[in-house]
Amino acid sequence: MIKKLNRYFYKTLYWATALTAILFFLMVCINVFTRYILKSPFIASIELSRLFFVWSCFLAAAITYYKKGHIIISFIYDKLPDKFKILISITINLLSILFFILIFLWSTEVVVLIWNTEFPILGISQSWLYIPVPLASLMMFMFSIEFLKENLKHKPELV
């Protein structure tokens, strides 16, 4: 069940990241065009490009986490026996779950605290700049649950 749900989350994250990255690129192009060619800058493009950039970065971080594409230093880990690798992986997943819960709680608090502040040009809440943090941490939490479940299937006997 969790694996199927996470695949759906992954596909949604993938397309949302593609969309926000394309919109970021378009906003930068529009900004350059209006500022340097038309000599009349589209001021809102600065705030929009900032929003799209932050969204695409955090969504892409969640995608990378799911694909296990983050940089790791594994020269010691690779030399360990398999039973220790599984134990280390389980520990890392448990710590990751705790970390993502804390990030979710604290970032949600920030979103709520600044909800009443607005971007000067767009007139929307500045919380939209911070919403991707709890969203990405929630996705990474779900992915960690799947990784932990996979590791527990291969739980070694310590005796």
Mean pLDDT within 4-23: 96
Residue 94 belongs to a domain: yes
User: For the residues 82-99, what does the mean pLDDT come to?
Assistant: 91
The pLDDT value given to residue 155: 64
Listed range (62-66, 70-74, 123-127, 135-139) with the worst mean pLDDT: 70-74
For 42, the token pair is 């589209």
> Integer distance in angstroms from the first to the last C-alpha of the chain?
32
Which range among 5-9, 16-20, 144-148, 149-153 shows the weakest confidence by mean pLDDT?
149-153
Give the separation between CA 37 and CA 130, rounded to whole angstroms: 33
Total structural domains in the chain?
A: 1
Across the range 17-24, mean pLDDT stands at 97
* Residues 67/115, Cβ–Cβ less than 8 Å: no
Burial of residue 58 (number of CB atoms within 10 Å: 0-12, 13-18, 19+)? buried
Average per-residue pLDDT in the chain?
A: 92
Q: Across 75-125, where does the E strand assignment appear?
A: none
> Is the residue at 71 inside a domain?
yes
Domain with 142 in it: 2-153
Residue at 17: amino acid letter: T
| pLDDT, position 55 | 97
Is the Cβ–Cβ distance between 157 and 14 less than 8 Å?
Answer: no
The residue length of the chain stands at 159
In the prediction, which pLDDT does 34 show? 93
pLDDT of residue 156: 59
Query: Is 158 contained in some domain?
Result: no
Element at 22 (helix H, strand E) = helix 2-32
Dihedral angle over CA of 69, 8, 105, 120, nearest 10: 90
Which DSSP helix (H) or strand (E) runs through 1? none
What's the whole-number mean pLDDT along residues 2-16?
A: 95
* pLDDT tens digits, one per residue of 51-85: 999 999 999 999 999 998 877 777 888 888 888 88
Classify residue 112: in a domain, yes or no.
Answer: yes
> Domain for residue 28, yes or no?
yes
